[in-house]
Structure formats: structure tokens, C-alpha cells
Amino acid sequence: MAKPSTVKLKVVERCHVSPQPTSSSAPPPTSECDELPLTFLDIPWLFFPPSQLLFLYEFNYPTSHFTTTILPNLKHALSLALHYFYPFAGTLHLPPQPTKPKILCNRLRDSVCFTVAESVDADFLHLSSDSHRDAALFHPLLPQLDYSLLTSPVTTKPNQLPLLAIQVTVFPNSGICIGLSYHHVLADARTFNNFLKTWAAFSSTSLGGDSYLSTIKSTLPSYDRRVIVDAHGLESIFLEEWWKKKRARSSRKAANDVAINMVRATFVVYPRDMEMIKSWILAQCEKKNEAHPVHLSPYVLTCAFIWVCLVKAQEQAGGGVNGSFCFGEDPNYFGFIAGGITRMCFPVPPTYLGNCVGFGRSTATRKELMGEDGIVIAARAIGSTIKRLDKDVLGEAERWIPEWEVLIGSDIHMMASGSPKVDLYGRDFGWGRPKKIEEVAIDRTRAVSLTETRHVKGGIEVGLVLEKPLMEAFTSFFNGGLRTLLS
């Protein structure tokens, strides 16, 4: 029987959850309305669509059990977490040019839109699998949030936009999906994960656990933006790029629709696979008397293998996708986010609330990636870029935005989002760990999502959304490449 191409939902409740005002353990607000200025590390994320995460949990109870037993506690736990992470309930203030955007937090009026829905006909087991699934199936599970900050209108009056929205969907007698949409300008993955840890800790504690005390101590946010030092004048460079792009695009309608015939799939690279890839790379270097790549971490090995598989799949599709062609000597890029907490030339607290990441872009020609030593070339390029970022994560940062623009939504180049180090699969709200996590925004950014594996320590889950023929080609190269390495 064919799987349905849409997910039909019935809205059970739509409300707003505000930060808990009476928690005595949280620091008192300095004022009724606080301003959180954007740093130069936040501004580049104004160019990106919201991050969209789905956490799918097994839950073998009817909807009535969820709404009466689980839901009140889940909303109360969210209110407690928002008391500590109050900017998540705030708004992004987009003023007229040339003023810098900022985050506004009003302790008396702020809230997060919280929607509860029930699935009418969706197959939870199919949605939470690794197999090829229609990408459009996942969109109804996400809460509504303004898609593009670039396409919001430029007006003479300030424009204030919510930063976070949440939707919980119940699949009767099979599962729960927590859908989150948030603008990355508010927080990087590290900060957002700290927020989720705190919410989950309060939720599981109310259900009988005792983990919240140690969790909230280790995740309480630091709001001191003075720790981010702009020694190179990057803020003015990024702001100029922002306003230039916003003037050019604010009259356009945001492109919320995803191309038809798109499928989503998850591929797992296990530790044994990484060891095979590493051994093969070292053997090739020895055979040709070449120096080993400077950095062969699990992240590098996985990304190198995926990059080559994707290029070969594109080549099989005729040298390009959707009419975008790339030839052998043309450059092919791999872009990724690099954590900045340990890389910045100034100290940043691990619990700093905001963005503290850099950007890396590796380059190889398609001819090199298609060749016999394609994985070696890819690993050498990615590893060398990481080593360069280790020495100077802000080196050439003035080029980040134009380099990002080449990658966002590209059919040819590859960009990785997420990090296997964040441990998203540890988010237990009181009914167990997630069965599956999906990053839905890759439908539009055309990035590849990376998370840790849910079952095997040290593995990496790779999420892709591609046109169906391209996904079939990629699957063939992925499975065939691992079989070749095994042999």
C-alpha cells in the first residue's frame, strides 16, 4: 500500500507559554524590558532561514493520556526553562536602516507560541525510519515562524519578529513529535541544546526524575555580550552586507515551498566504517608515497566520504542538478560550521548565550573528487581547513557572507549543518530518548545534517533531502562505496 503524500493534523490547542515569573532560584531581571544586542557573530545568521528540528519519540498511549497527564507538565517545564532562557520568548527587533537589529525581551509580555496537534492518518514508524520518505510529509509537524528575515519588509517603523515557536504532535498509540523552529541569530546549536537540556530536565523531574539540579547548574546561560571582542571591525562589514541584501530582497515573497519530488533519507556512518575509510586513505597515501592528511577525525572521514558520494551521484545525473552544471575543472565547495568556544582568541564561557561559531569552506575540483583518490582529496581539503580554523577561526571572516551565499540552496556544492558533538539524542522529557531526530530546514538550504547516532556511540547520522533520482544514485554510491572499502 502506498504511503500518503501528506500528513493530516487536527489542532487540539494553540496557546502561548510565558517565562515562569515566580522562580526564586533564577536571577531577578534587571528591568522589565531588556535589550540583547547582536554581536558580529550573530549578524551573519540574519541571512539564514530558521532552524527546524523534529524530535520523534515512541509513545504508546492515546491522545487523551498525553493531554491530561503529560501536556500540563510539559508546558510548565517550558515556562521554567524560559525563565532562565528568557530571550527565547523575546522578539527580534528589525529597525529601519542603518540601525543594528537587536533582541528585545519584555518579562511581562513575552511568550512562545505553543501548538498541540493530533495526527489523523500518518504512519509514525515510517516517519521515524531511515528510509526514503517524501520530504513534504514533515512540514505539517513544524510550527509556523517567519521563514526569511531577508524578505521581511523594509519600513520606516521597527519590525518585531518572534524567535521561537513550538508544536507538539501526538500520533495516537504510537508516538510524539516535538517540532521546533527558531532563528539562528538567537543562538547556535550549543546554546539551543542547553535550552533543550534545561526544558527536558524540568519535564523529567516533574515526572519523577532527579536530574534537573546538575543539569541546570551546567547549562545556566551567561548573558555578558562584552566577552565577544570585535578586533577586526567585522560588525560593520556584516551589517553593510545585511542591509544591502535586505534592500534587494525585501520586496520578494519568501520561498516557503520545496521543490516537488524531493525525498528525505538518513545514512549512518558507524565507527567501523570510519576505521575502514581511514585505513583506505592511509593505504592510498602509502602506496603513492604521499603525506597523510593532517587531520582524520570521525567528522572529517564522514564528511569526505559523503562529499565524494554526492559528487558522483550528481555526475551520474548528468553533471548537475536542476539545470546547474559543473565541469571537471570547476571548483567544488564543502562548507561547515566550526565551534568557536575553544577557538576564539578571547575567552568565552561555555554557557554563553548567543552565537560563537566560525565558518570553514574547503575546495577541490570535481575531477579530483571523481578520481580514484577522491576521498583522500576530500579528507585532505576538509582536514586542512579545520587545522587553519584551529589556528585562527576568524581568519578571512570578512568573506564569510559571500562564501555562504554560494553554498546556501546550492545544487552543486555541499554544506554541513549540525554537529555530532551536541548530543541531541540525550533529550529525554520523561518518556525516553528520541527514536529519531530530523533537521527539516535542509529541504531549503540543501545542506547535509549531521547528528550523533542514537544507538552506537561514536557513529554519525547523515540526513539528506534530494530529488528522487539523485537520492537513488547517492544511496547506490554510499552503499557501494562502503562495500568496496570492506573488500
Q: Which residues are catalytic?
A: 184, 428
Q: How far apart (Å, rounded) are the C-alpha atoms in residues 159 and 172?
A: 39
Measured between its terminal Cα atoms, the distance across the chain in Å is: 37
Q: How far apart (Å, rounded) are the C-alpha atoms in residues 173 and 193?
A: 28
Cβ-contact 107, 33 below 8 angstroms = yes
Q: How far apart (Å, rounded) are the C-alpha atoms in residues 27 and 10?
A: 39
Amino acid residing at 399: R
Q: In 3D, which of 462, 416, 409 has the Cα closest to residue 437?
A: 462
For 447-472, the DSSP string reads -EEEEE-SSSTT-EEEEEEEEHHHHH
Residue 83, C-alpha cell as written in the block: 525563565
Distance of CA 150 to the CA centre of its chain: 19
CA dihedral 156, 157, 163, 166 (to 10 degrees): -110
Q: Where are the beta strands (DSSP E) in 354-418?
A: 357-365, 414-417
Distance of CA 165 to the CA centre of its chain: 15
Query: Is residue 313 exposed (0-12), middle (13-18) or buried (19+ Cβ within 10 Å)?
Result: buried
Cβ-contact 246, 47 below 8 angstroms = no
By three-state DSSP, how is residue 92 classified? strand
What is the Rg, in whole angstroms, of the alpha carbon atoms belonging to the chain? 22
Q: How far apart (Å, rounded) are the C-alpha atoms in residues 293 and 299?
A: 14
Q: Any idea which residue has 569526505 for its cell?
A: 304
Q: How far apart (Å, rounded) are the C-alpha atoms in residues 172 and 123?
A: 10
Q: How far apart (Å, rounded) are the C-alpha atoms in residues 484 and 36?
A: 53
